[in-house]
Chains A and B, each alone.
Chain A
Amino acid sequence: MDNQHQHTISVLVENNSGVLARIAGLFSGRGYNIDSLTVSPTEGTGLSKMTIVTTGNDEVLEQIEKQLSKLIEVLKVTDLTGSSFIERELILLKVENTTENRSEIMQIIEVFKGKIVNVHINEITVELSGRSAKIDAFINLMEAFGIIEIARTGRVAISRKPGATQEY
């Protein structure tokens, strides 16, 4: 497919069991991609906020927005891409180290403003948050030392405009 774009979509939903399945099914049933999806309760009673990162051409993205809005339990869909917004991801990353390269690794972690949260003899666990591009860059650098494991949250996002991203 041509003209693929990645979009970050914020979705305000009723915090009911089954909402996530409806949304996941909407994507999988149509062959749309989910690059990442986060969900947790948010302000307001009984509401959850999802941040979905998805890739598709203009037609697909238009349908994603409309099909999401069509779900009874979806209150609001906001495509943040194209507007000014703040996005963050968090990773926990375990990397191998030796006495020779330990200080080099720690320097890199410091440059990225990461935090060492656990240490074993030959292994360091780092906590790092930031924009997806920063996380990618950090992972790239760590690869040279030997990554043991990564846990990555996926993107959360919020509009830079004053007031809530989504009023309902």
Chain B
Amino acid sequence: MTDSKDENRKQDNWRKEMKGAEIAIKCLEREGVDVVFAYPGGASMEFHQALCDSSIDVILPRNEQGGAFAAAGYSRVSGRSGVCMATSGPGATNLLTGIADAYMDSVPLVILTGQIPKQLIGKTAFQETDIIGMTRPIIKHSYLVMDARDISKTVKEAFYIANTGRPGPVLIDVPKDVQQQKVIPELDVELQLRGYSPFKKASDVEIETVKEAIANSEKPCIYAGGGIITGEASEELTKFARSYNIPVVTTLMGVGGFPEDDPLSLKWLGMHGSVYANNAANECDLLLAFGARFDDRVTGPLKKFAAGAKIVHIDIDRSEINKNKRADIGIISDIKYFLSRLNEKPFKKEYAEWHKQLKEWKEKYPLTYNKKTKELLPQKVIDTIYRLSGGDAVIVPSVGQHQMWAAQYFNYTKPRQLLTSGGLGAMGFGLPSAIGAKVAYPDKNIICISGDGSFQMNIQELGTVHSYEVNVKIVILNNQHLGMVAQWEDRFYGSQRGDTVLVNQRVKRPYPDFCTIAKGYMIPGREVYKKSELEDAVKEMLEADGPFILDIHTQYYEHVLPMIPPGKSYKEIIIDRE
């Protein structure tokens, strides 16, 4: 009885005339949204006015791009769709990088944009951009809402589409007059998506086919991608690998999908992946690709990749099968379902020769750096953070050399422990994404690791950090260079520097002075120049009550290794420093 009374009251709340913007915010509440990352403007202020009367918290980023990354950071760490909002024109265009990033990494994200009033669309009005058109190639789906009566249905569909199947960003563009339009909202809206059926399950026959392939294999290898994490299947994967005794390499996006401290883990593969991961994936006779997409940074030249292996490819997205690498067995399925079915009656084989070979590679080619030098090496910094944080921190790198080191020298044991811009490779990702992750999980230890180049791409979000007391730790591996490009210059362009130097010749210290900037934002920090100071500084950062910034000065000539040169196969991997 009480239930139905509650239900009645809830319905009564809706049975009155409301503005379109109010309906939209009510719909967000109904979807369980607790926070939006939103920057107001002329065409979105109606939303913000409605948010004043809502249970939803608003976090104001200092640039809309920061808002999009923060919302996606929220999604990446929690698996629940984050929400960001911006006004028309420049507000909307500033979101684009964040949307593209979410699209490439299959991150659920709902984006609300204000649009100029309907009658002005097409008139080149003030702050008019066709954001639907601009986002079309980088979005899972989008809506231009022309009637406030359509809002509740649209919001419901948007969340459903963003979170199901292969997740992704969905944009809702609402003209200002539609936000102001007063209507009695539709209540029980039904989802009407006859062209969208995201739930896919492998058939019994398909499952048997894969089992048979495993039974016939002498050298199997699991190649696990980000789908393991978005599909919430890391437990099933771990059980599968252990019960079948099959080694696991992950992609960068799949890091944490299988515990890296497990003896079956070979860490991750690709251009900067471990030698043993690349060797295993390339020399196996059966490659089990689970929720991975044969990205060029993983495979190099496709014909040479896993050339002798039978390819089994499982993905929820049908278009991934045969897109890059032709699969011998291609199956469209939810990966969690697929693995749990395989786990029903596992069979364990020894693969003695194979495991012996893998062990040899692991011992011969460990991920390592010069530990004896007096210089403060960036890898040492990651190592130290890993050790002192107890290994359970969530690491949010930006993009560049530091990102690769952060992925290499931390042993990730849980899904969603490394949040990284894998597909788009967007500099400036780190700080705002870390903010979003911390907002989602205030109790988790969230550490942003950035380069000095990346950090300056969204440095303004320090304002968000302090204003909302977002307790993120920030480490800058400051080498005064755009290190990854400089590394390519060293390797392939005779070290000629093509605008990769951030050093300022007129200043006698590393430039800019990040700790002084942080101080301006009321955030404490510390600079580190010597190896001997590192331990203490990292401790100070980890023990600080609030946000803290460590500006660590390292040398630019350290390269990320190993490295498979672009266009080359795993056999041409570079291991040596020189």
Stretch at the interface among A14-22, A91-99, A144-152: A14-22
For residue B319, which residue of chain A has the nearest CB? A66
Give Cα A89 to B330, complex, Å: 38
Q: Find chain B residues with CB under 8 A from A25 CB.
A: 136-137
Q: Find chain A residues with CB under 8 A from B142 CB.
A: 18
Q: B132: which of A14, A18, A72, A75 is its contact (CB, 8 Å)? A: A18
- B317 near A70 with CB under 8 A, answer yes
- A72 near B140 with CB under 8 A, answer yes
Question: What's the nearest-Cβ distance from chain B to residue A156, in Å?
Answer: 21
- B319 near A70 with CB under 8 A, answer yes
Question: What's the nearest-Cβ distance from chain A to residue B48, in Å?
Answer: 27
Known interface pairs A72-B196, A75-B194; A29-B318 also in contact (CB < 8 Å): no
Q: Find chain B residues with CB under 8 A from A62 CB.
A: 322
- A74 near B319 with CB under 8 A, answer no
Q: Mark interface residues in B139-181 (1 if CB within 8 Å of A CB, else 0).
A: 0111010000000000000000100000000000000000000
Give Cα A138 to B548, complex, Å: 78
Q: Find chain B residues with CB under 8 A from A69 CB.
A: 318-319
Question: What's the nearest-Cβ distance from chain A to residue B254, in Å?
Answer: 22
- B136 near A75 with CB under 8 A, answer no
Known interface pairs A18-B144, A66-B319; A73-B137 also in contact (CB < 8 Å): no
Q: A66: which of B132, B133, B193, B318 is its contact (CB, 8 Å)? A: B318
For residue A69, which residue of chain B has the nearest CB? B318
For residue A59, which residue of chain B has the nearest CB? B322
- B195 near A71 with CB under 8 A, answer yes
- A72 near B161 with CB under 8 A, answer yes
| Interface residue ranges of A39-67 to B (CB < 8 Å) | 59, 62-63, 66-67
For residue A67, which residue of chain B has the nearest CB? B319
Question: What's the nearest-Cβ distance from chain A to residue B27, in Å?
Answer: 19
Q: Find chain B residues with CB under 8 A from A70 CB.
A: 317-319
Give Cα A147 to B140, complex, Å: 46
Interface range on chain A (Cβ under 8 Å from partner):
20 to 34
Q: Find chain A residues with CB under 8 A from B196 CB.
A: 72
Question: What's the nearest-Cβ distance from chain B to residue A164, in Å?
Answer: 15
Give Cα A22 to B317, complex, Å: 18
Give Cα A162 to B317, complex, Å: 31
Give Cα A72 to B196, complex, Å: 5
Q: Find chain A residues with CB under 8 A from B319 CB.
A: 63, 66-67, 69-70
- B136 near A22 with CB under 8 A, answer yes
- A72 near B137 with CB under 8 A, answer no
For residue B318, which residue of chain A has the nearest CB? A66
B374 at the interface (CB under 8 A from A): no
- A72 near B193 with CB under 8 A, answer yes
Q: Mark interface residues in B97-123 (1 if CB within 8 Å of A CB, else 0).
A: 000000000000000000000000000
B5 at the interface (CB under 8 A from A): no
- A75 near B195 with CB under 8 A, answer yes
Q: Find chain A residues with CB under 8 A from B318 CB.
A: 66, 69-70
For residue A28, which residue of chain B has the nearest CB? B137
Q: Find chain B residues with CB under 8 A from A73 CB.
A: 195
- B141 near A29 with CB under 8 A, answer no
- A72 near B144 with CB under 8 A, answer no
B323 at the interface (CB under 8 A from A): yes
- A168 near B194 with CB under 8 A, answer yes
For residue B139, which residue of chain A has the nearest CB? A22
Give Cα A71 to B319, complex, Å: 11
For residue B130, which residue of chain A has the nearest CB? A21
Give Cα A69 to B200, complex, Å: 14
Q: Find chain B residues with CB under 8 A from A168 CB.
A: 194
Question: What's the nearest-Cβ distance from chain A to residue B481, in Å?
Answer: 34
Q: Apart from A66-B318, A70-B317, A72-B140, what are 7 other A-B pairs with CB-CB below 8 Å?
A: A13-B195, A21-B136, A25-B136, A63-B323, A66-B321, A72-B193, A72-B196
Residues in A lying within 8 Å of B, measured CB to CB: 13-14, 17-18, 21-22, 25, 29, 59, 62-63, 66-67, 69-75, 168
Residues in B lying within 8 Å of A, measured CB to CB: 132-133, 136-137, 140-142, 144, 161, 193-196, 317-319, 321-323
Q: Can you list 30 A-B contacts (CB < 8 A)?
A: A14-B194, A14-B195, A17-B144, A18-B132, A18-B142, A21-B133, A22-B136, A25-B137, A29-B137, A59-B322, A62-B322, A63-B323, A66-B319, A66-B321, A67-B319, A69-B318, A69-B319, A70-B318, A70-B319, A71-B195, A72-B140, A72-B141, A72-B161, A72-B193, A72-B195, A73-B195, A74-B195, A75-B194, A75-B195, A168-B194
3 smallest CB-CB distances across A and B, nearest first, come from A66-B319, A75-B195, A72-B141
